[in-house]
Structure formats: structure tokens, C-alpha cells
Amino acid sequence: MKSKKSDELLIDHNDDGVDRRGFLKCMAWAGTGALCVMQGGVLKSFSLSRLGELDPSAAKGELHFVQISDSHMGFNKPANTDVGGTLKAAVDKIRALPKAPEFLLHTGDISHLSKPEEFDAVDQILKDTGKEVFFVPGEHDVLNDDGAQFRDRYGKGSQGAGWRSFDKNGVHFIGLVNVMNLKAGGLGTLGAEQLEWLEKDLQSRGKSTPIVVFAHIPLWSVYPEWGWGTEDSAQALAYLKKFGSVTVLNGHIHQTMQKVEGNVTFHTAASTAFPQPQPGKADSPGPMKVPAEQLRRVLGVTDVNYVQGQHALAVVDSSLA
Amino acid sequence: MRRSVSIAGLAAALVLGIELWGTGQKGSVTSAQGRMSTMEVKIDNFSFAPATLTVPVGTTVTWTNRDDIPHTVVSTDDPKAFKSKVLDTDEKFSFTFSKPGTFPYFCSVHPKMTGKVIVQ
């Protein structure tokens, strides 16, 4: 991989092994069926078709979990009239992992129209993983009722609009909600109450505690023109500055992207339902229609592997193909 | 006892509601005798078209969602002048503007989508 890395690195501002060209290259691969591994702050990329060549130690660690996102149960238009089928394919992929994950994170847009039967269908399919699932809402999950149904179903142990934190194997997880009370012309919003809670939640944690933040809308400015960012994420990131290892997992944009900024690795997951265009590459962020035989290559699951003593988490995207 | 009182209250509210609704209907019948018009706003590609619509007082504006993705039509005024439920593909929302003024609105699901109705 060493020679490959030197091929990808032009300018390395953060001394983290990733430059813009390498990042974009990784992004393009991921969208068409590749995986990226962040390990020790260095970007490692593998083609999905070469998964068998992956050093098994790269998939070993103290903690192993999976992120899925944007199931959009209830969506039934091109390019995917069977979002239940593709979610099931994601579950099959999870069940086939060489090492079973300890739990799942779902980063929102569980449903398409916040209908009870849509949530029911997702719950039924995810049951087959046999794993606990932690959810944060997407904007499609809080339609018409300000998220009351979401909190009723998935909010146990959460606060406010559904934000929460918990610890697993020495890693501190924080689920944030940035899809409520959106203002005209604006982006995702965390709000003062949640930011205050976050500051308090982090106060007692040691700097060496690895932090994983998960939320629906990206906490970095992916493409504000399409609303792909969060108004007050800078404040949240300021509270996270003191920590040596921070990984931010988001959904919403239905494609995989990564960015490293100092100690923070940002990562967005693919949708299990339908792809969306690359930023600015279409008139709008509406569903991208792809030929049926290509659909599963642009949908996916994210497999996260925490290796104690390493700087960052290893994040591996797998397509559903 | 408490339950019967609240049921009575609910019934009263319903009757009142029906009466108000009846009055509203009468009002719109009257304006129909004058010059009542309807205007369309299309929701397409994550935008309202036209984004700015100028109409005379009494106009009913109907928004139609032509996208594959659900949207809403929500007034940005406080209190809100109007608020649709979520509109799936091809669903419509109508509101009759009975007072002059500028009425900005947005999609509460995709807040980058904004528009306004100017009533003269």
C-alpha cells in the first residue's frame, strides 16, 4: 500500500495521510464499489472485489460495529421500487461479516414519510441482525409530529429531541439530532439546548477517550447549497477539540465521503435505498436513477472497527453488490 | 363524571368548529361572486416555481409536489399564516389569501427551498 499512498498524496496539510486528491479518489471508488479504511490516521483504500486480499488483522480490533443509513422505507419510485429488498440485502451483508458487529447505528431517514408501517417494516428487517440498534432521526422520520413517534419508538434512554450518549469498550458514543426546528434558508441545526448538553457530556471525559459522534445531516459543510451541512456544528466541534480521536458518522447525502480535519475524521455512509448525485452534479439532490443492475453497487453498509491504541477508527464501506 | 364533562366540551367545540367552518364557506362563496382566482405553484427539483408569486386578494394558491421526494409548504411568519402537512409526489396544498401583504414560506424538510406570495 505504501507505493499507492505516495501516488495519492500531493499535499498533506494535516500530516494525516490524506490530501484533497486522495480524498476525491477514495470518494469515487467508494461510490462505485470500493472500501476505505482509516487506520492510525492514514487512509487505506481497497477495491471491494479484492476484499479477499485484505490482511485479516485489518479487520480485528477491540470494538466492531456497523453503521447503516437512509433506509427510506416507503419510497417506491425509480431507481429503487424495493427498498425493503435492499435493506434486507444490507442485513445479509452484515450477517456475513467475518466478525459479528456488537451493535448497529442507524443514522436516520429510517422511513420515507414517518408512517408507522414504514418504521414497523424496518424494525422487522433489522431484527434479523439479532443486534441492538441505536437510531438518530432524519428529517423524514419527524414529519408532521415534531418527532413524537420517533422518540416513542427509538428514544428510550435519550434526551430532548432524541440525543444520547453511551460507552462501549472504552469508546464514547454520542448520537445527535440535527433535523428539528429547521429555519427557512438554513441547514441542519443542533440548537442551544443540545449543544449545552453536549458540552456537559464531554466535560468529564478524558482527552484520550475515543469519541464517535453520529447524526443524520453531515456535521461538516459538504455542500450547503443543497442543505448538506449543519448551521451550528462548529460549536459542537469546538467541544470535541481536546480529544485525540474523534470520528463523525453521518448519513443524509446517500453516498460515501470522508474528510480528515486535525483529530476529527468525518465520514458519510451510503443509503440502503437510493443514491443521490455528487454535490452540484445535478439540478437538485433528488434520487439518482441508475440502471437496475448497478443499483446495489451504489448502496451500502459501513463497518467500523476500533483498534485500541490506534489514532483513528477504521471505517470500511461495502456496497450491496 | 370528569369524562362526561370533557365529552360535552369536545361536542361543543365540534359544533363551534362546524359553525366557523360554515361561516368560512359563506365567505368564500361571497368572494367567488366577486373575482376569485386560483394560481399554481409547482414544486420541482427541490424548488418552488415561481419562487415569487404576486396575486390579488382572495386568490387561492395551490402548490403541487412534482418531485420524487416529499416536501412541505410552511409560512415563515410567526404565527404561521399557513402550514401544509407533508406532501408526497403529486399531492397538493391550497391556501386562500384573504389579506394583502408579503407571505414568505419554505419547505420545513428542505429549508433551502424558499418562496413568497405577494398579495395585493
B40 at interface of A, judged by CB pairs closer than 8 A: no
Q: Is the pLDDT of residue B31 over 50?
A: no
Q: Which residue has the higher pLDDT, B78 or A37?
A: B78
Q: Tell me if chain A has a CB within 8 Å of the CB of B83.
A: no
Q: What is the mean pLDDT of residues A8-29?
A: 37
**Mean of the per-residue pLDDT values for chain A?**
79
Does A77 contact chain B (CB < 8 Å)? yes
Residue of B45, B76, B88 lying closest to A184 (CB–CB)? B76
- Check CB contact under 8 Å for A185 and B109: no
pLDDT above 70 covers a percentage of chain A that reads 75
State the pTM of this model. 0.79
Given strand B114-119, what is the order of strands in its sheet?
B52-55, B114-119, B101-106, B74-75
Of all residues in chain A, the one with the smallest CA distance to B83 is A144
* pLDDT of A261 higher than 90: no
CA distance B23 to chain A (A): 28
Q: Is A140 on the interface with B (CB under 8 A)?
A: yes
Residue scoring higher pLDDT (A278 or A162): A162
With a cut of 50, say whether residue A22 has pLDDT above it.
Answer: no
CA distance A235 to chain B (A): 21
Nearest to B45 among A78, A184, A283 (CB): A283
Who among B46, B88, B114 is closest to A184 (CB)?
B114
Three-state secondary structure along chain A? CHHHHHHHCCCCCCCCCCCHHHHHHHHHHHHCCEEEEEECCEEEEEEHHHHHHCCHHHHCCCEEEEEECCCCECCCCCCCCCHHHHHHHHHHHHHCCCCCCCEEEECCCCECCCCHHHHHHHHHHHHHHCCEEEECCCHHHCCCCCCHHHHHHHCCCCECCCEEEEEECCEEEEECCCECCCCCCCCEECCHHHHHHHHHHHHCCCCCCCEEEECCCCCCCCEHHHCECECCHHHHHHHHCCCCCEEEEECCCCCCEEEEECCEEEEECCCCCCCCCCCCCCCCCCCCCCCHHHHCCCCEEEEEEECCCCCCCEEEEEECC
CB nearest A286 (choices: B45, B88, B106): B45
**Predicted confidence (pLDDT) at residue A41 exceeds the cutoff of 80:** no
Min distance A264 CA to chain B CA atoms (Å): 27
Which of A75, A226, A287 is opposite residue B112, by nearest beta carbon?
Answer: A226
Q: A36-45, A153-162, A274-283, B98-107 — which is least confidently predicted? A: A36-45
Domain boundaries, chain B: 1-34, 35-119
CB contacts of A72 in chain B (<8 Å) are none
A-chain CB neighbours of B68 within 8 Å are 75, 77-78, 286-287
Those residues with Cβ within 8 angstroms of residue A166's Cβ, 6 or more apart along the chain or in another chain? A134, A157, A172, A173
State mean pLDDT over A162-187.
93
C-alpha distance from B53 to closest chain A C-alpha (Å): 18
Domain boundaries, chain A: 14-41+61-279+295-319
Q: Is the CB of residue B114 less than 8 Å away from at least one CB of chain A?
A: yes
Residues of B in contact with A77 (CB under 8 A): 68, 89
B112 touches chain A (CB under 8 A): yes
The pLDDT score that the predictor gives to residue A36 is 34
pLDDT in tens, A48-101: 334 445 565 665 556 778 888 899 999 998 878 889 988 888 888 778 777 778
Is A79 part of the contact surface with chain B (CB cutoff 8 Å)? Answer: no
Q: How confident is the model at residue B42 (pLDDT cuts 50, 70, 90)?
A: very high
- Flag whether the ipTM exceeds 0.85: no
CB-based contact (8 Å) between B50 and chain A? no
CATH number of the A14-41+61-279+295-319 domain: 3.60.21.10
What does the pLDDT average to over A298-312? 64
CATH number of the domain located at residue range(s) B35-119 in this protein: 2.60.40.420
pLDDT at A61: 59
B88 has a chain A CB within 8 A of its CB: yes
Q: Do A227 and B112 touch (CB under 8 A)?
A: yes
Q: Does A204 touch chain B (CB under 8 A)?
A: no
Does any CB of chain B come closer than 8 Å to the CB of residue A15? no
Determine the average pLDDT of the residues in B93-115: 97
